[in-house]
Structure 1
C-alpha cells in the first residue's frame, strides 16, 4: 500500500495548489491514501492570521475541515482522503490547541516543533556566534520539546524530528546522543510515530528527516514510522516513497503505519 501523510496547500501561504490538486496528484502517483495536513492556525494568538505566509487564518480553519471532508466524500472509492493537520507544539499553549481540535473528526494529527526559544528552527542565523556549549543547549532544548510533544497525548505522528538541520547541516554533528535517545525512548513508550519526511531533499541539507542514524535508534526503541513528503507543490506528492521503503528495510524495519480515525493501521514493508 502506498500513502503520503504530509501535504500542504495554498491556505498556509507558502504552498502552491488547492487541496484537490494534491489529491489528484496522489492518484497520479499511485497512492491508495493521501493525508491532507496543512499548518495549524496560531490558535493562541489574538490576531486571526498573524503570519499569512506561514499558517492559515483561524477564521479559515472550519472551511479547511469542511473542504477536506467534502473531498473525502467526492473521491471515495478512488483514493482515501485522510483529514489531518500539522500542528505547532507550544507547551504553554497546548490546552488552547487541544480545545481547538476537540470534536473534529481528524484521522490523525502531526505534532511539529517549529520554534525553539522563540526562533524558527529553520533560521540559520540562530547559530551565529554560539560556542559549542550553546549549540548543544539549543539541540537539547529542541529534543526536549519533541519529547514533551510525545507526552502531550495530542498527536499520532511527530513531524521532521531533526529538521533543525534543514538549513544548517552541521546540526547533525552537534553532540546530543543522550537527549536524542531519551526522546526516542519516550516516543516509543507513548506509542507515537515519527515520519520519514522527504522534504529535506529540497533544503540545504539535501537529505531526508530524520537521518539514518536516528532511524536506527528509533528501531531500537520500538518507534513506529510513517511516510510524508511534506509536499508544498502537487508534483512532490509521494516523492521518493519507494526509496524510503527500501532504506527502511535495509535498516531493519518490517512495517510502517498510517492513520484512519486516529487509529494506527500497520502496513508491512
Structure 2
C-alpha cells in the first residue's frame, strides 16, 4: 500500500496549491491514501493568526476540516483522503490543543516540535557562540520535548524527530545518544509512530528525517514508522516514497502504519 500522510497547502502561508491539487498529485503518484495535514493555528496566542506565514488563522480551522471532509466524499473510490493536521507541541498549552483538536474528527494528528526555548529549531543563528556543553543541553532539551509529546496522548504520529539538523547539519554530531535512546523508548511505550519525512532535502542538511542511525535504533526499540513527504508543493507528494520503503526493508523493518479515525492500520512494506 502506498500513502503519504504529511502534506500542506496555501492556508499555512508558506505552501503552494490547494487541497485538491495535493489529492490529484496523490492519485497521479499511485497512492491509495493521501493525508492532508496542514499546520494548526497558534491556539495559545490571543491573535487570530499569530504567524500568517507559518500557520492558518483560528477561524480557518473549521473551513479546513469541512473542505477535507467534502473532498473525502468526492474522491471516495479513487483515493482515501485522510483528515490530519500537524500540531506544534507547547507543554504550557497542551490541554488547550488537546481540547480544541478533540472537537474535530481527525484521522490523526502529527505532533512536531518546532521550537525549543522559544526559538525555532530551524534558526541556525541559535547555535552561534555556544559551547559544546551548551549544545548538548539544547539537543537534550529538544528530545525531552519530543518524549513529552509522545507521552501526552495528543498525537498518533511524531513529525521529523531530528529536524533540528535541517539548517544546522552539525546537530547530528552533537553527542546526546542517551537522550535519543530514552526518547525512542518512550515513543515505543506510547505506541506512537514516527514519520520518515523526506523534506530534509529542502534544507541545508539534505536527506531525510530521521537519519538512518536513528531509524536503526528505532527498529531496535520497536518504534512504529510511517511515511510523510511534508510536501509544500503538489509536485513533492510521495517524494522518494519507494526509496524510503527500500531503505526501511534494508534496516530490517517489515511493516509501516497509517491511521484512520485515530486507529493504527499496519500494512506490510
- For Structure 1 versus Structure 2, the TM-score category normalised by the shorter chain is over 0.9
Instruction: Output one character per residue of 1:98-150: Cα deviation in whole Å (capped at 9) or x when no partner.
Output: 11112311100000000000000000000000010110000000000000000
CA-CA distance at 1:84 after TM superposition: 0.3
Local SS of the residue matching 1:103: coil
3-state SS of 2:99 partner: helix
The secondary structure found in structure 2 opposite 1:14 is: coil
Residue range with higher mean Cα deviation, 185-194 or 96-105: 96-105
CA–CA separation in structure 2 for the residues paired with 1:6 and 1:102: 19
Task: Give the superposition deviation at 1:228.
Answer: 0.1
User: What corresponds to 1:194 in structure 2?
Assistant: 194
- Where in structure 1 do 4 or more consecutive aligned residues deviate above 2 Å? none
TM-score, normalised to structure 1, is 1.00
> How much has 1:202 moved relative to structure 2?
1.1
Distance, in Å, in 2 between the alignment partners of 1:227 and 1:37 is 13
Look up the match of 1:216. Answer: 216
1:163 corresponding residue in structure 2? 163
Residue 136 (structure 2) aligns with: 136
The secondary structure found in structure 2 opposite 1:267 is: strand
Tell me the distance in 1 between the aligned counterparts of 2:151 and 2:56.
Answer: 26
Counterpart-to-counterpart distance in 2, 1:208 and 1:93:
29
1:49-88 alignment, distance < 5 Å: 49-88=49-88
Structure 2 residue aligned with 1:97: 97
Q: How do residues 180-259 of structure 1 correspond to structure 2 at under 5 angstroms?
A: 180-259=180-259
Which secondary structure state, in structure 2, belongs to the residue aligned with residue 53 of structure 1? coil
- Distance in 2 separating the partners of 1:33 and 1:161: 23
Q: RMSD of aligned C-alpha atoms? A: 0.4
- Per-residue CA deviation, residues 55-78 of structure 1 (Å, 9 max, x unaligned), is 000011100000000000000000
> For the residues of structure 1 that align with 2:223 and 2:266, how far apart are their CA atoms?
13
> Which stretches in structure 2 are left out of the alignment for 5+ residues?
none
**Alignment match, 1:7:** 7
Distance 1:102 1:222 in 2: 28
Structure 1 stretches lacking a partner, 5+ long: none
- Secondary structure (helix, strand or coil) at the match of 1:58 reads coil
Separation in 1, partners of 2:102, 2:152: 14
1: distance between equivalents of 2:89 and 2:36? 18
Q: In structure 1, how many angstroms separate the alpha carbons of the residues matched to 2:106 and 2:230?
A: 18
Q: How many residues align?
A: 269
1:138-177 C-alpha deviation (Å, 9 max, x unpaired): 0000000000000000000000000000010000000000
